[in-house]
Structure 1
Amino acid sequence: MAVATPSRPEVAGRVRTAAFSLVAVALFLLMFAASAPSPLYVVYQRMWGFTPATLTAVFAVYVLGLLVMLVSAGALSDYVGRKPVLVSAIVAEAGSMLLFVLAEDVGWLYAARILQGLATGAATGAISAALIDLERRPGTGALVNSATPTAGLAVGALGVGLLVQFAPAPTKLVYILLLVAFLGTAIALLFTPEPVTRRPGALRSLRPQLGVPPGKLRAFLTVLPSLVVPWTLGGLYLSLGRSLVVDILGIDNPVAGGLVVFLLTGTGAAASVLVRNWQPQAAMTVGASALAVGVAAVLVALAVAFAPLFFAATVLGGFGFGATFLGAFRTATALAPPGGRAALVATIYTACYLSFSLPSLAAGLAATHVGLPVTATWYGLMVITLAILAIVARRLRPKVR
């Protein structure tokens, strides 16, 4: 009796699906690693004694390194291929994990976070473009690009918070595990297919540049507020979320510090899945509205020091985070042809990470001088204003999809 063998298209389809999944895993690990230090900052502060301003500076140098690579190498994979960029970036990320393992003072934290930012920035454009290149159903790449980063941030923050509370050597163990995971991922990526054809111009692509396809700038600016407002809120939680829980709500527990980030980003990941079949405009409008209401409730909770309201409002804000960013990411990436996706994705994430880092750095400095409650209030009002602007911008050009 003859045994049926898979046809070449079936095999190619399975290989493509496996490659897509592996790239999604790489993105998850990168975001897990990005949030891993957040619950540990309180441990580092107790060990080495540094101020909230130093804490946010350590956070900000990561984003600075990331932005440098996004702007200079964000489009590189359009020319040399996705695999070379991804493998190199993942190996560099593993190197940053080693620096965390070896860290003996705050200087090591700066070095580790800078290298981590450079590696993540190099990988971001290539990963996001590869997910769209390798998707077998339209929209899957955008969904994974939206849901996976928030899921990684969520699991990283809560998982490390649990390690701090219950595991030995919390400042070492998580980075050792991530080091092994990144090296394994880099090796596996070597055996995946290359989704794009190499072409000349790689050296020219390294010149600092941002790329929006010709004739699409106005449409991009329309969706820009919806891209940046979720990450502006995320920056507050990842840099000062732990301080809000401890200093204002009075909950001195490492798990609670990770939980608040988990609630925001985990709900964001779940929201991306829940609204995946919505029209992008509806996702952005509903999401920005939920985000604004959630942040307003957070401010009330902080004013009266009522923890249950704070956590519930964080969940609502997290839903707005995920829905808004999914709709915005789908709309923005649809503006570029396949050969120019990495450059546009680099532009998208440059905007997102600037909104993620600069306000949070300013908040860290402000908290040192005017206090955390005042800083949180003004930061929250800024996020609410951006959310309203996102809704207005979408209403002004309802035909942009």
Structure 2
Amino acid sequence: MREGQEFRWRDPLVFHAATLGAFFVAASAPTPLYRIYQETLALSPVFVTLVFAVYAVALLKALLVAGSLSDHLGRRPVIAGALALEALAMGLFLLVDQGAGWLVVARIVQGLATGTAAASLGAALVDVDRARGQVVNAVAPLAGMALGALGTAALIQYGPWPLHLVYGVLLLVFAGLALAIWRIPETGMLRPGALASLRPRMAVPPRIRRPLALVTPINLANWTLGGFYLSLVPSVVAAATGSRAPLTGGAVVTALMVAGAVSVLVRRMAAPRTNLTFGVLATAFGVVTVVAGIHAASVPVLILGTLVTGAGFGASFL
């Protein structure tokens, strides 16, 4: 049994799926802590939104600049570098109680690490198994964010050192993964031009410009929704319901991500137009239900609305 388990974890598909999930566990780990940061560091909601925004901008820059780097240096070195950078970000989070500036720096470093990892791990998953790799690439971020929000909330509520424990655990996880990656077979083919690949290039083929223009508003709305949940929802839930238990806000965020992951799995064979139609309608109805839950100060209605919203979010994401 032990040998079988070791072999399984050395399977590139399993290892890369778990590693991608770990990055998104860490991405949502600060979410249940934002309300505590607001209270202990006297942060405004605008500052919390800024913290999420700098993470998103850093992630986008990493995707644009380092997105194809693993095609030239190999998957393993780039993934190892992203893991080391993520471990550094976890160390920076441990300093946040000394000043809000550390939170901004930590999120920037985390965004760079996550963007680099998402590109290289996504490519590695498709290298190993194109069909299963694409499904894992869609499910792992949502499942990871669900686990990160709920796990952090549980550690805050029941564990010691609420501002530090989750980051200490994740630092050890990423340090271990950075060492373990060298036991995983390389999946990519190396080619010259690493420095040239760092120059951002964007091109939209003429045949997909109209579809892209049509889905862009949906993408913007979905990721605005995701940003709202991952930054401000725990504070909104606490203010609306009076429940200050970290697990309450964490459960609402987790409901969005779990519903999204399930939606991806259930609807992965549906036509793109069908998924977009379902996604837009479900998200709109879900958001109305969430607003009703906030006004009624009802956690069950909030979670129900979030589940419907998450199903739409996942379908649109797919």
Does residue 68 in structure 1 map to residue 81 in structure 2?
no
> How far 1:77 moved relative to its partner?
1.7
In structure 2, the partner of 1:55 is 48
1:35 equivalent in alignment to 2:45? no
Displacement of 1:278 after TM fit?
Answer: 2.6
* Contact map agreement 2:10 2:184 (CA 8 A) in 1: no
**Structure 2 match to 1:260:** 252
**Per-residue deviation, 1:234:** 0.9
Which residue pairs with 2:224 in the alignment?
A: 232
Does residue 132 of structure 1 match 2:90? no
Q: Which residue of 1 aligns with 2:104?
A: 110
User: Max radius of gyration: which structure?
Assistant: 1
Q: Residues 329-344 of structure 1 correspond to what in structure 2 (within 5 A)?
A: none
For residue 43 of structure 2, what is the amino acid of its counterpart?
F
**Is 1:174 the equivalent of 2:166?**
yes
Distance verdict in 2 for CA 1:280–1:110, change over 3 Å? same
* Counterpart pick for 1:93 among 86, 91, 105: 86
Distance 1:57 1:91 in 2: 25
Matched, 1:44 2:37: yes
- Give CA-to-partner distance per residue, 1:312-353, whole Å, 9 cap, x none: 110101111112212xxxxxxxxxxxxxxxxxxxxxxxxxxx
Shift of 1:194: 2.3
What residue number does 1:80 align with? 73
Question: Equivalent residues in 2 for 1:1-400 (5 A)?
Answer: 18-103=11-96, 104-135=98-129, 138-212=130-204, 215-326=207-318
Distance 2:215 2:70 in 1: 25
Distance 1:320-1:163 versus aligned 2 partners, 3 A rule: same
CA distance in structure 2 between the partners assigned to 1:255 and 1:206 by the alignment: 41
Q: Which moved more, 1:98-107 or 1:174-183?
A: 98-107
Select between 48-57 and 187-196 the one with higher mean Cα deviation.
187-196
Counterpart residue type for residue 109 of structure 1? L
Cα RMSD (Å) = 2.1
Distance in 2 (alpha carbons) for counterparts of 1:168 and 1:234: 29
8 A contact 1:74–1:122 mirrored in 2: yes
> Which consecutive unaligned segments of at least 5 residues does structure 1 have?
1-13, 327-401
CA contact (8 A) 2:52 2:227 kept: no
Does structure 2 retain, via aligned residues, the 8 Å contact 1:17–1:134? no
Question: How far apart are residue 303 of structure 1 and its match?
Answer: 3.5
Gapped regions of structure 2 (runs ≥ 5): 1-6
Alignment CA distance shift 1:223-1:134 (3 Å): farther
Name the residue aligned to 1:329: none
Counterpart residue type for residue 18 of structure 2? V
Comparing 103-112 with 219-228, greater Cα deviation is found at 219-228
Once the two structures are superposed, residues 357-397 of structure 1 have per-residue CA deviations (whole angstroms, 9 ceiling, x without a partner) of xxxxxxxxxxxxxxxxxxxxxxxxxxxxxxxxxxxxxxxxx
1:237-261 alpha-carbon deviations (Å, 9 max, x no partner): 1111012201223322211111111
Q: CA deviation at 1:50?
A: 1.5
Amino acid at match of 1:253: A
Q: 2:68, 2:197 within 8 Å by CA — same for their partners in 1?
A: yes
1:168 to 1:174, Cα distance in 2 relative to 1, 3 A: same
% identity of equivalent residues: 43
How many residues of Structure 1 are paired with residues of Structure 2 in the alignment?
311
Report if aligned partners of 1:22, 1:185 keep a CA contact under 8 Å in 2: no
Distance (Å, rounded) in 1 between the aligned partners of 2:207 and 2:66: 23
Query: Which amino acid in the other structure matches residue 102 of structure 2?
Result: W
Where 2:190 maps in the other structure, the secondary structure is coil
**1:25-72 CA distance string (max 9 Å, x none):** 111111010110111112222222111111111222211221221121
> Relative to 1, partners in 2 of residues 1:87 and 1:317: Cα closer, same or farther, differing over 3 Å?
same
Against the structure 1 CA distance between its residues 82 and 212, is the aligned structure 2 distance closer, same or farther, given a 3 Å change threshold? farther
